[in-house]
A = this chain, B = another copy of it.
Amino acid sequence: MGNVFGKLFSISTWGESHGPAIGVNIDGCPPLVPIVREEIQAELDRRRPGQSRITTQRREADIVEILSGVEASLSTGAPIALLVRNEDARPEAYEHLKDLYRPSHADYTYQAKYGIRAWQGGGRASARETIGRVAAGAIARRILKDAHDVEIAACVKRIHDIEASYDLAAITRERVETTIVRCPDLEAAEKMIARIEEVRRQGDSVGGVIELVARNVPVGLGEPVFDRLEADLAKAMRSLPATKGFEIGSGLAGTFLMGSQHNDPFYLDGGKVRTRTNRSGGVQGGITNGEDIVIRVAFKPTATIQKEQETLTKSGEPTLLRAKGRHDPCVLPRAVPMVEAMAALVLVDHWLRLRAQRGPEVKSSPGATPPEKAMPLDAEHRKE
Which of B243, B261, B263, B312 is within 8 Å of A273, CB to CB?
A: B312
| CB proximity of A126 to chain B, nearest CB, Å | 10
Q: Are A2 and B225 in contact (CB under 8 A)?
A: yes
Q: Which residues between 116 and 143 of chain A lie within 8 Å of chain B, taking CB atoms?
A: 116-119, 123-125, 129
Q: Are B245 and A252 in contact (CB under 8 A)?
A: yes
CA distance A316 to B230 in the complex (A): 26
Q: Are B118 and A265 in contact (CB under 8 A)?
A: no
Q: Are A68 and B21 in contact (CB under 8 A)?
A: yes
Q: Are A247 and B245 in contact (CB under 8 A)?
A: yes
The verdict on A48 contacting chain B, using a C-beta distance below 8 Å, is no
B residues less than 8 Å from A194 (CB atoms): none
Q: Which residues between 2 and 28 of chain A lie within 8 Å of chain B, taking CB atoms?
A: 2-5, 8, 10, 12-16, 19-23, 25, 27-28
B residues less than 8 Å from A169 (CB atoms): none
Q: Are A300 and B353 in contact (CB under 8 A)?
A: no
Q: Are A68 and B245 in contact (CB under 8 A)?
A: no
CA distance A105 to B360 in the complex (A): 26
Contact with B along A309-333 (1 / 0, CB 8 A): 1111011101000000000000000
The verdict on A164 contacting chain B, using a C-beta distance below 8 Å, is no
The verdict on A42 contacting chain B, using a C-beta distance below 8 Å, is no
Q: Which residues between 327 and 384 of chain A lie within 8 Å of chain B, taking CB atoms?
A: 352-368, 370, 372-374, 377-378, 380-381, 383
Q: Are A231 and B235 in contact (CB under 8 A)?
A: yes
B residues less than 8 Å from A362 (CB atoms): 30-32, 115
The verdict on A191 contacting chain B, using a C-beta distance below 8 Å, is no
Q: Which residues between 289 and 310 of chain A lie within 8 Å of chain B, taking CB atoms?
A: 289, 298-305, 307, 309-310
Which of B228, B254, B357 is within 8 Å of A28, CB to CB?
A: B357
Which of B69, B112, B119, B276 is within 8 Å of A14, CB to CB?
A: B69
B residues less than 8 Å from A231 (CB atoms): 234-236, 238-239
The verdict on A93 contacting chain B, using a C-beta distance below 8 Å, is no
Q: Are B205 and A258 in contact (CB under 8 A)?
A: yes
The verdict on A177 contacting chain B, using a C-beta distance below 8 Å, is no
Q: Are B1 and A353 in contact (CB under 8 A)?
A: yes
Q: Are B249 and A111 in contact (CB under 8 A)?
A: no
Which of B161, B266, B288 is within 8 Å of A312, CB to CB?
A: B266
User: Can you sample 7 A-B contacts with CB below 8 Å?
Assistant: A32-B115, A75-B116, A113-B219, A113-B368, A158-B255, A207-B262, A266-B312
Q: Can you add 10 more A-B contacts, CB < 8 Å, to A124-B225, A266-B311?
A: A2-B224, A14-B80, A19-B67, A31-B358, A74-B116, A78-B224, A244-B251, A245-B248, A262-B301, A273-B312
